[in-house]
Each structure stands twice: as structure tokens, then as C-alpha cells.
Amino acid sequence: MKVKLTDLTENERTYKGDLDPEMFELVDDGDLIAKGPLRYEIHVCVVSEMLIARGRLEAPFAFRCSRCGDFYDEMVRDLDYSVALDLDLERVKSGVEGDDAEHTENDRDGVLRYVEKGIDFVDLTPDLRESMILRFPGYPICAETCEGRCPKCGQNLNTDVCSCKPEPADDRWGKLDHLEVKQRK
Ligand SMILES: [Zn+2]
Ligand SMILES: [Zn+2]
């Protein structure tokens, strides 16, 4: 999502649109599927040479449930997205000589304009991606009531019961509670 620097002023400008789900650059690890575009509505302005962006983001995903292993759909939202970018810093990062920057300030109509040779845009896409990924569930479950799977036969207990007998309580992990951990010196 590119913001044209020369379009920015102290007054907020609203950007709305969709970004192709490829922008998430997800590794296909079998636990997560991007199911549609990232939808954004972002208000951008410049304050004290900082680019300020805030708004809301949402995109549909399918996550693999940690209990039953089935995929379920979840809309991931960041309703409180915000970022402040130092424009000069951004320019240096982009490999353009900072001294080439022509920085004009038009005080007569109270509007700041940023003009620079070489760089017309700031791309917010990497920051949008990061913000969304931070909103992914750490322990995805399809429902609070998910019954998971039978540890013996693997039957999804949400859809059917199986005839396995319940296992007697396994005490192996209980012993860990009493284990004293010796510290290495
Ligand atoms: Zn589940
Ligand atoms: Zn079973």
C-alpha cells in the first residue's frame, strides 16, 4: 500500500482498498491459509516530519485448530492500527542521498508538502503485514467447546463419538511436578 509523499499534508488523507493476500508472504506450513485480501482503511498525515498512519485492517484466514486439527475460518482484525514513520529515516533506508532531498514548506496556506528526488512513495505494506501477523491467535482453536480428537483412534470428537474406553489417568507428567531441577553451575 503505497502512499505518495507529495499527497501528504497535515490534514488526514484516507486510503481505502484491498491488498492481494500474497502480501502476507506466508510460508505454506500447512497450518495457516490466507483466504482473501487484506482490506484497509487508513488515515495518513504528516506531523513534524513524521508520517502518521492509523486505521483499521482486516483479512480472512483459515487456521488449523490446535485441538482437533481441522481448519476453521477466522477474520483477523486490527481496528487500532497505527504507525509513525520518520520520513528522513525512511529516505536514508531507501538508499537515496539524504542531501538530495528537497524539503519545501509552504506556510502560507498552512500546508506542508514533501518533495524528494527519487522517492515518491512510502510503502506501508511491510508494516501492515507485521501488524496483522501480530494479531494471529497464538493457540488457535475452532471453538471453545472443541472436543479435540480421541488420542487412541484419532476420531474427531466434535463430529462423532468413538468406542474407545477412556484411558486411566496417566501419571507420568504428574511426577514432573515433584521433580527438583538441579541448576548447572
Ligand atoms: Zn477444533
Ligand atoms: Zn477413539
The Cα diameter of the chain in Å comes to 82
H or E segment at 33? strand 32-34
| Structural domain includes residue 181 | no
| Structural domain includes residue 183 | no
Distances (CA, A) of 103 to 4, 64, 84, 112: 15, 49, 19, 9
Separation CA 66–CA 64 (nearest Å):
6
The domain of 133 spans 2-176
Ligand 1: centre distance to CA 73 (Å): 11
Cβ 96 vs Cβ 116: under 8 Å: yes
36 DSSP 8-state letter? S
Total of domains in the chain: 1
Nearest ligand, CA 142: 1
Cβ 101 vs Cβ 120: under 8 Å: no
Nearest ligand, CA 152: 2
Cβ 23 vs Cβ 127: under 8 Å: no
| Structural domain includes residue 82 | yes
Nearest ligand, CA 64: 1
CA-wise closest residue to 1 among 49, 60, 46, 43: 43
| Structural domain includes residue 139 | yes
Joined grid coordinates for residue 166: 477412556
Joined grid coordinates for residue 99: 542531501
| Whole-structure pTM value | 0.71
10 DSSP 8-state letter? S
Joined grid coordinates for residue 171: 501419571
Ion ligand 1: residues, CB within 5 A, are 65, 67-68, 142, 146
Cβ 128 vs Cβ 54: under 8 Å: no
- The rounded radius of gyration (Å) of the Cα atoms in the chain is 25
Ligand 1: centre distance to CA 13 (Å): 42
DSSP 64-99: E-TTT--EEEEEEEEEEEEEEEEHHHHHHHTT--GG
Residue with grid cell 487456521, as numbered in its chain: 63
Q: pLDDT (tens digit, 0 to 9) for every residue of the chain, 185 residues total? A: 998 887 887 889 999 999 999 999 887 778 899 999 999 999 999 887 788 999 999 999 999 999 999 999 999 999 999 998 877 534 433 333 344 444 443 333 334 445 454 567 888 999 999 999 999 999 999 999 999 999 999 999 999 999 997 666 666 666 666 666 666 65
| Structural domain includes residue 182 | no
| Structural domain includes residue 165 | yes
| Structural domain includes residue 184 | no
Ligand 2: centre distance to CA 173 (Å): 22
